[in-house]
Structures are given as C-alpha cells and as structure tokens.
Structure 1
Amino acid sequence: MSKHNYRGVIFDWDGTLMNSEARIVAAIQYAAAQNNLPVLSDHESKQIIGLSLQNAVAQLYPTIAEDLTTIQAVSEAYTEHFLHESQVPMTPFPFADELLEALLDEGYKLAVATGKSRRGLDEVLKLTGFGRFFDITRTPIESASKPNPLMLQQIMTHWNWSAEQVVMVGDTTFDMEMAANIGMDRIALHHGVHHPAQLAAFNPVAALEDLGSLRHYLLS
C-alpha cells in the first residue's frame, strides 16, 4: 500500500490519460454543422468534455435540450466522426503507459470513469492497448453522467472498498465535483481542459502538471 493509503486509482480518460481535446472539439463542431446548429468556438466546445455525450450536447445547445431526436442525431454524428472519420490525431499523454504499469506493479487496482460512450471507450482502449491495465471501467451508458457519483460508487462496490481507499484523477471540474460528492480524494491534472483555478475550487489533495508528476506523487 502506498504512503497515501490508497488501494485503487480511478482515472478519467479524455484530457487525463488521452490527449484528445482537439479531436473532440473538431467532432463536436462537425456534428453541429451536420445538424444545422451554430458551430461554437474551440473554447466553448471544449468546456463540456467529461460529460456524457447527450448531456454535453444539451449544455452546448440549450435550445434543443428537450429535443431528444436532435440530440440523438448530433450524438450519432459526433461518434461516427470521432471514431472513424476524423483526421485529427489523438495520443496518450506522455508517461501514460509507464504510469499505469508502475501502479499495477505497486499493487494498485485501476479503473476508468469517463463521459465517453461504452462503444467509444472500448474502441480507444483497444486502439491504445490500455484495456489490460484496468480492472473495471464505467461510462454513462451503464451508470450516470458526471458529476453524479454513481460511476465511482459502482467501482467501489466492485472492489468492496470505501471512498477513503480510492482516489480520483481528472482534469475537469466534473471529475473533481463527482469525487467530492462522495467524499473521495481527488487529484487535479493541469494538462487537460479546465483551468487550474477552476479545479482548485474543489480542494484536490494534489494539483499536478503531468502524468510523470502523478507517478512521483503516488509512488515516491
């Protein structure tokens, strides 16, 4: 067990382990244009990264928040473009695989709690080969969108551990708020979407610049 007494680490995916911000933004803008919605700026579009896709669309376009047919059409256009059509590159952040290997070697159990769809997460885990690292993964498809803490509760139930034995790692306020909602420690990463000051409002136990720093924090 580490000096922090954590037994498990739960990671967000996009913006935390995967540098996919540009690809997500491009796909959101494409899906909007395909459905005759205003194409928002990069800054506006990226603020919803971390939410479930349907919640993200509804938040970006409140005028269609009750139009489930249009939200579904935008979501489907986004998913298809993101997974199979986009030429915008995405890669894991530096040290991602080394970090995950080191945590497993130290005896941690690892999980993912993400706003991605189940289909989207499964495809990127296969693409990166990272699926082997995680004991359990959760998406809003079988749970609830952040900041509802249901994903974390499901993971803890699977492990039969309490919130005090687990830490959440993420780059958005949605990650921080989700963990805070059930009294779980949270670590903020600054290489993702939301500004450090936004993350600091949720009192993370650590605020780190990259995954190399996270490895040092958890394993030193």
Structure 2
Amino acid sequence: MTALSHLKGIIFDMDGTLVDSGLDFTAMRAEMGLRPGIPILEQLAELSQADRAAKEVILHRHELEGAKRASLIDGADRLLQALAREGRPMAIVTRNSTENTRRTLKFLNIGHYFDIVICRDDGPHKPDPWAILEICRRWQMTVDEVVMVGDYELDIQSALNAGCPSVLFTEGKNPATVEGNEHATHSATHFDELYHLLAPREDSI
C-alpha cells in the first residue's frame, strides 16, 4: 500500500497541478495595475465594484486564452485513469471561473473523471477551507479521508485550514522553493512520485 492509497477521496487543484494553461500571473497583475506578488482575487476584493468589473474583464480574457491553449501536465492522464479504475472519487477545487474551468475540462476531455468541480463563483475560495469541507459533506467523508493536491501555497493552506492531508506538487521544482511548503504533509516533484503516493497499490509507472 502506498502512502496515501488508503484515502477515499482525492481533491485536485487544476492549473499548475493537472493542467498547464500557461497563465502568466505577473503579466496579468501588471496589466490590471495590481500589486506584484499578491494573489489577484484578494486584490480585486479590495476594489470598488466598477474598478473590479473593469479588471475582471482582463482576468477573464487571460483565463479564456489559457483555456484555449491548455494541455495536460505529463503523467496526469495516467494518474486520473488509475484512480478512476480504483473507483476513488475525485474533485477539482480551483480559483478559476466556472466558465473557463468547464472550457478547459471539456477541451482536454477530462471532466468525466470528477464527481465535483468547485470554482471561485461557487463560494469562498482557497485558502478558505469551505470547498474541501463542502466536498467532504457531499461525499459523506471526514476530512482525514481525503487529500488536497496542489502546486501553490493557497492549496496547501486550504488543506491546513480544513484539517486534511495535502500533497504539494511542484512539477520539477525543489519543494523548498515553494512558499508554504512546510505545511504540506507530502510533496511530489514529478507525476511518477504523485502516482506512487496516491494510487496504484501494485501497479508501477
């Protein structure tokens, strides 16, 4: 049995974890006139309704362009297939919009893998634990029966806030270079590591 194969449900972030949309958040913040290094959604929440609406047009344009060029991160399809064969439910929690999330999942033909998809339009977004707790409620599982997999500090913080295990996926980067890495219960630098952490009990990559 692998380290997390006993867990019943798997929750994934989308961009940077399963999907590469090529989103340049630094460029997005610059075009919107936002402060560098601070998450976009948090900065938008500070603005007046009119100013926020104008900047959201820019945000949606970048996200739409990302959905059109999206590709699966190497190894993601094999992991999703393995988890599906085991019958373990999977969900996505993303700070992307519902529209662009649906476009991306449809374009890549992976939407059928996920029982639940929660986007920023659905409720409080990461690092708030609401989405993880809502998924647990729908699956009728406790938080220690699921794991959150993501590539960013906000993914790991949401898991910490919910009280569930987490995997920091870095796609080749040293996990120590990712802010908040110390809060992750596990880390994986490549999908083969993530594969062996999460899924197949006897299979090998």
Q: TM-score, normalised by structure 1?
A: 0.79
**Equivalence for 2:89:** 109
Matches within 5 A, 1:177-216: 177-191=157-171, 196-197=176-177, 198-202=179-183, 204-216=184-196
Report the CA distance between 1:189 and its aligned residue: 0.8
Rounded Cα–Cα distance in structure 1 between residues aligned with 2:61 and 2:116: 25
Report the CA distance between 1:57 and its aligned residue: 3.9
Matches within 5 A, 1:25-174: 25=25, 28=28, 31-32=31-32, 37=33, 44=36, 48=39, 54-57=41-44, 65-84=46-65, 89-174=69-154
* SS of the residue 1:144 aligns to: coil
The answer as to whether partners of 1:27 and 1:82 remain within 8 angstroms in 2 is no
Q: How many residues align?
A: 198
* SS of the residue 2:180 aligns to: helix
Seen in structure 2, the aligned counterparts of structure 1 residues 153 and 93 have a Cα distance that, compared at 3 Å, is same
Structure 2 gaps of 5+ residues are none
The answer as to whether partners of 2:143 and 2:163 remain within 8 angstroms in 1 is yes
**% of aligned pairs identical?**
26
Rounded Cα–Cα distance in structure 1 between residues aligned with 2:173 and 2:70: 14
Residue 15 (structure 2) pairs with residue 14 (structure 1): yes
Q: TM-score, normalised by structure 2?
A: 0.84
Rounded Cα–Cα distance in structure 1 between residues aligned with 2:67 and 2:151: 24
> What RMSD over aligned residues (CA atoms) do the two structures have, in Å?
2.8
Rounded Cα–Cα distance in structure 2 between residues aligned with 1:136 and 1:8: 11
